[in-house]
Amino acid sequence: MTSLSVRSAKPTTIRTDAVVIGVTNTMKRLAAAGPGRSVQDAFGRGFVPMLASLGFEAKPGQVASLPSAHVIRSPVVVVVGLGDEGSLDHESLRRAAAIGVKAVTNAVSVALALPTDGAADVRAVGEGALLGLYAFDRYRADPAVDRPGDVVLVTEDARHKDVKAAVTTAETVARAVNLARDWVNTPSCDLTPQLFAAAITDHKSDAKVAVRVLDDKTLAKQGCGGILGVGRGSDNPPRLVGLEYSPRRPKAHLALVGKGITFDSGGLSLKTGPGMMTMKCDMSGAAAVVAATYAIAELGLPVKVSAYAPLAENMPSGTATRPGDVLTMRSGATVEVHNTDAEGRLVLADALDMATETDADVIVDVATLTGACVVALGTRTAGVLSNDERLHARLPEIAGRAGEPMWSLPIPEEMKTKVTSSQLADLRQHNPEPYGGTLFAAAFLREFVKDRRWVHIDIAGPAFNDHEAHGYTPKGGTGAAVRTLVRLAQEAADGALSPG
Ligand code: BES
Ligand code: MN
Ligand code: ZN
């Protein structure tokens, strides 16, 4: 991956292949912002009229590349639109950084001279650049895009301790997001439960994270009827990966649970062809919690993390679970299966039950759980459901600070009745009514968290981008929720999770 560094050099004299600057449009007046100002000054009075002639209005997302013709030392100036000066925030910096670095081709090094005010801004620029430069070319002879080897962040405060730390954090977080993206993008044939478990175990990290893999026999011993019930239709047996990061004096303890369906065909309740096309992404929750756990450990955050990734392949076959079957879950509850395509809640239920055996302050699960959530919130916003009012309010705020849109959805009282309305078992797995599918699924999960404080994040929309790349979000796997989980740990270290 591209390396990130920070320097207090001048954008006019720095020797890189390209310099990216930001231009704002405040009441129709264009002006280079922050360190980019010196580049505008070097070009002189013709700079703004030249941008206007190029049709550049400094709208967010807009970009123009100019030959610098020896006006500054670097041969190319990339100008990115920042919109109104007053609208600048971390998210616009992330996007601008990504759009700037992506506009440069055939370069070894790029300087990013965007306006930053302090460490948090520098972190946003660094994150945006590394996230924007992501490409998945494991299956190509020739890489589809060429990326610069070095990205240099230009800021006057380059020597400040907190700015240096911000660059390290940006790098760690972006690497974690990109790791999750790699796993999501890997086709299901190369990421069976076994292979995914091996990839998690083999992940190179200097940080101390204990990893254990429970195979199907061990899962049977533990009575994990949900995970085994989903996995039994496949020739690739299920696994559960547990990770533990235990720092010396933890200020909080998080239990993270991620849905890890390595392929979701729907099982006997088979999906349509187009409906299963992208279902290699159904392990995005597991990828997120694992990548976030490694990042939290690498950052050395004083938060204990216990993570659980139940991994199974949901396939139809002569051994598959049938609609109408009853499963006995790890918790002891029995579940009547109505639709084998509602498999995520079954594997999560067993893993949530394990998580209740820790002394975690909060349990967070992340899952590509319901198409209904995409209908409700679109493809870029995750749904947040919880049994704890305070957490429910806090989590979307934390996600917002991490740059990930999330929105609260309720678990209405009626869903409790529906979940417990099975004719023959304790719980029913699926609500035949086509309404409120996300809410029903959350009500089902809630049955397995006992009295623990719990948040459920449904990332069915944002986990996988079927459309064109935008900002720092690529096509395919996005690494959704990784940044939120790392941010949650950072804020938990500062007491954000304390009840009441
Ligand atoms: N993995 C899917 C949900 C999904 C849909 C994720 C679209 C990403 C994009 C999940 O297992 C599923 O199939 N859910 C069903 C539930 C239904 C049968 C109650 C759905 O949403 O249709
Ligand atoms: Mn499904
Ligand atoms: Zn699924």
**DSSP state letter for 322:** P
Torsion sign across C-alpha atoms 352, 353, 357, 362? positive
- Asked if the model's pLDDT at residue 499 lies above 90, the reply is no
For ligand 1, whether the C-beta of 343 sits within 6 Å is yes
pLDDT digits (tens, 9 = 90+) for 340-396: 999 999 999 999 999 999 999 999 999 999 999 999 999 999 999 999 999 999 999
Residue 146 scores a pLDDT above 90: no
Q: Where are the alpha helices (DSSP H) in 251-326?
A: 273-276, 284-298
Q: What is the pLDDT of residues 253-303, one digit of tens each?
A: 999 999 999 999 999 999 999 999 999 999 999 999 999 999 999 999 999
Query: What's the gap in Å between 458 CA and the centre of ligand 1?
Result: 11
Mutation pick for ligand 1 pocket among 265, 339, 340, 341 (CB with most ligand atoms within 8 Å): 341
User: Does residue 310 line the site of ligand 1, with CB under 6 A?
Assistant: no
Is-contact 60 2, C-beta < 8 A? no
For residue 232, the SS3 value is coil
- Ligand 1 centroid, distance to 376 Cα (angstroms): 13
- Whether residue 137 contacts residue 101, with contact meaning beta carbons closer than 8 Å, is answered with no
Average pLDDT of the residues of the chain: 97
**Cβ-contact 196, 262 below 8 angstroms:** yes
Let me know: does 392 contact 481? Beta carbons within 8 Å.
Answer: no
Q: Quick one: average pLDDT of 317-327?
A: 98
pTM for the full predicted model: 0.98
Atom of ligand 1 nearest to the CA of 463: 8
For ligand 1, atom 22: residue with the closest CA? 371
119-132 vs 161-185: helix crossing angle, rounded to 10: 30
* β-strand partners of 362: 254
pLDDT digits (tens, 9 = 90+) for 245-265: 999 999 999 999 999 999 999
Binned at pLDDT 50, 70 and 90, residue 142 comes out as: confident
Q: Which residues are catalytic?
A: 271, 345
Domains defined along the chain, listed by start = 3-159 (3.40.220.10), 175-492 (3.40.630.10)
Identify which of 230, 284, 369 to mutate to test ligand 1's pocket (most ligand atoms within 8 A of the CB): 369
Rounded distance, CA 368 to CA 276, Å? 13
User: Ligand 3 centroid to 395 CA: how many Å?
Assistant: 23
Digit-coded pLDDT (tens) for 395-444: 999 999 999 999 999 999 999 999 999 999 999 999 999 999 999 999 99
- Where does 213-343 have alpha helices with state H? 216-221, 225-231, 273-276, 284-298
Q: Three-state SS string across 431-461, please? A: CCCCCCHHHHHHHHHHCCCCCCCEEEEECCC
CA 245 from centre of chain: 19
**Exposed / middle / buried, residue 140 (Cβ in 10 Å: 0-12, 13-18, 19+):** exposed
Whether 291 contacts 303, CB under 8 Å: no
DSSP, collapsed to helix, strand or coil, labels residue 327 as strand
437 lines ligand 1 (CB under 6 A): yes
| 458 ligand 1 Cβ < 6 A | no
Residues ≥6 apart with Cβ < 8 Å to 44: none
User: Cβ atoms within 10 A of the Cβ of 50, count?
Assistant: 15
